[in-house]
């Protein structure tokens, strides 16, 4: 049994499979070898810059990846790899040269991550900006791969919902492909930012739904509260504090979610479980709800009157919006 959270376990959980590194020699040197600081190198570093498993530096990055795959294929049958810039100090070069080398690696379809051997005194803010940008590119390729997997799982299905989803995935893949080909940094930032927010939003939705389901099954005392959309919910008293915290967090996050969605109009076709809202909707459903700490029965007559007026106002506001196919029951 593992007594710690290992790196290999993290890789398998994050990427869904075990990954092998392909060692790459980018033709770098080191401040302790080129005379900047010294010429003899470090005592722990070999003559080859600790890059004994790399291919010849005279080969391109793409050629080294191809050869590396051939070397590992005898013991690894996976489809994806980590590009490991191993020999010497792999950030000890102008940013333009680093960009060319790193981009050549990550644009290979089998590469899903970069591993870069370096030293702290060879990291600059410009290099960190470059690595952040490349990380967003890899995030988008990961989204693409997930959509492809979902598309594969839907193959052969002919029901209406499956066909609709297949068409939606196709539209998304087409737009993602264009973004990756054009490699527009500004667009890439917006797309990545959106999907990161969506991932957090989906997590909150899932946790809230879990509490609602547990409360329905529970025989314990239940307390009335409001969901992040202002809907009345009866939550088990023992789960109420956590539910209200998550609901408030979701309400606050929804604003950012909708704002980022709007920024992507014309960049990528987005299909989500949570539909994008219009500006008018954001006003009526994304406000900060004062989540009650008391049940309705415990409110004073004045508080009950205020609560009813707010509920009616939300109903009137929603009636002005386009029909979204949602059932509304008014008592």
Task: Convert the pLDDT of each residue in 148-196 to its tens digit.
Answer: 878 888 887 888 888 888 888 887 777 777 666 665 556 656 666 666 7
Q: What is the average pLDDT across 123-150?
A: 81
pTM equals 0.49
Q: Which of 145, 88, 128, 117 is nearest to 21 (CA)?
A: 117
Cβ contacts of 255 within 8 Å, gap of 6 or more: 282, 286
User: What pLDDT does 12 receive?
Assistant: 85
Q: How many domains does the chain have?
A: 3
Are 96 and 15 contained in the same domain? Answer: yes
Q: What sign has the CA pseudo-torsion 226, 228, 231, 235?
A: negative
Band (pLDDT 50/70/90 cuts) for residue 287 is: very low
Are 106 and 151 contained in the same domain? Answer: no
Are 279 and 219 contained in the same domain? Answer: yes
- pLDDT more than 70, % of the chain: 73
In a domain, 105, yes or no: yes
Q: Which of 215, 195, 101 is nearest to 141 (CA)?
A: 195
Q: Which of 286, 225, 298, 235 is nearest to 258 (CA)?
A: 286
Q: Which of 150, 42, 32 is nearest to 92 (CA)?
A: 32
Cβ contacts of 191 within 8 Å, gap of 6 or more: 136, 140, 176, 179, 264, 267, 268
Which of 11-20, 118-127, 186-195 reaches the highest mean pLDDT?
Answer: 118-127
In a domain, 43, yes or no: yes
Residue 238 has pLDDT above 70, yes or no: yes
In a domain, 322, yes or no: no
Sheet containing 111-116: order of strands: 20-24, 81-85, 111-116
Are 107 and 80 contained in the same domain? Answer: yes
Torsion angle, alpha carbons of 45, 86, 69, 67, to 10: -80
Are 311 and 189 contained in the same domain? Answer: yes
Are 303 and 189 contained in the same domain? Answer: yes
Residue 255 has pLDDT above 60, yes or no: yes
First to last CA, the chain: 56
Q: Which two tokens stand for residue 107?
A: 């644009």
* Range of the structural domain that residue 57 is part of: 7-123
Q: What is the average pLDDT across 243-264?
A: 80
Q: What is the mean pLDDT of the chain?
A: 76
In a domain, 132, yes or no: no
User: What pLDDT does 182 receive?
Assistant: 60
In a domain, 328, yes or no: no
In a domain, 238, yes or no: yes
User: What pLDDT does 275 receive?
Assistant: 38
Band (pLDDT 50/70/90 cuts) for residue 294 is: very low
Are 284 and 237 contained in the same domain? Answer: yes
Are 89 and 210 contained in the same domain? Answer: no
List the alpha helices (DSSP H) in the chain: 7-15, 61-72, 95-106, 125-154, 160-182, 185-217, 240-263, 279-285, 301-319
């Amino acid at each position: 049994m593992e007594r710690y959270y290992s790196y290999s376990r993290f890789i398998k959980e994050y990427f869904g499979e075990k990954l092998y590194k392909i060692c790459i020699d980018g033709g770098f040197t080191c401040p302790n070898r080129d005379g900047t600081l010294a010429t003899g190198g470090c005592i722990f570093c070999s003559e080859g810059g600790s890059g004994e498993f790399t291919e010849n530096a005279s080969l391109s990055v793409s050629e080294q990846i191809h050869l590396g795959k051939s070397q590992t294929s005898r013991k690894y049958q996976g489809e994806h790899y980590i590009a490991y810039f191993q020999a010497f100090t792999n950030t000890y070069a102008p940013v333009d040269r680093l960009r060319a080398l790193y981009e050549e690696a990550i644009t290979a379809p089998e590469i899903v991550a970069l591993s870069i051997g370096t030293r702290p005194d060879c990291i600059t803010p410009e290099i960190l900006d470059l690595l952040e940008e490349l990380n967003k590119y890899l995030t988008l390729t990961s989204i693409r791969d997930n959509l492809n997997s979902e598309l594969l799982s839907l193959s052969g299905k002919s029901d209406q919902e499956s066909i609709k989803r297949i068409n939606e995935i196709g539209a998304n893949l087409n737009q993602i492909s264009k973004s990756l080909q054009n490699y527009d940094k500004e667009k890439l930032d917006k797309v990545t930012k959106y999907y990161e927010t969506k991932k957090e939003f989906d997590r909150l939705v899932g946790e809230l739904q879990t509490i609602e389901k547990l409360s329905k099954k529970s025989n314990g005392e239940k307390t009335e509260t409001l969901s992040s959309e202002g809907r009345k919910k009866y939550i088990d008293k023992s789960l109420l504090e956590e539910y209200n915290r998550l609901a408030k967090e979701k309400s606050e996050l929804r604003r950012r979610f909708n704002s980022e969605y709007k920024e992507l109009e014309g960049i990528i076709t987005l299909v989500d479980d949570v539909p994008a809202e219009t500006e008018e909707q954001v006003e009526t459903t994304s406000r900060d709800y004062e989540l009650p700490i008391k049940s309705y029965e415990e409110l004073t007559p004045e508080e009950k009157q205020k609560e009813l007026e707010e509920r009616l106002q939300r109903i009137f506001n929603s009636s002005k919006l386009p029909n979204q196919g949602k059932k509304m029951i008014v008592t």
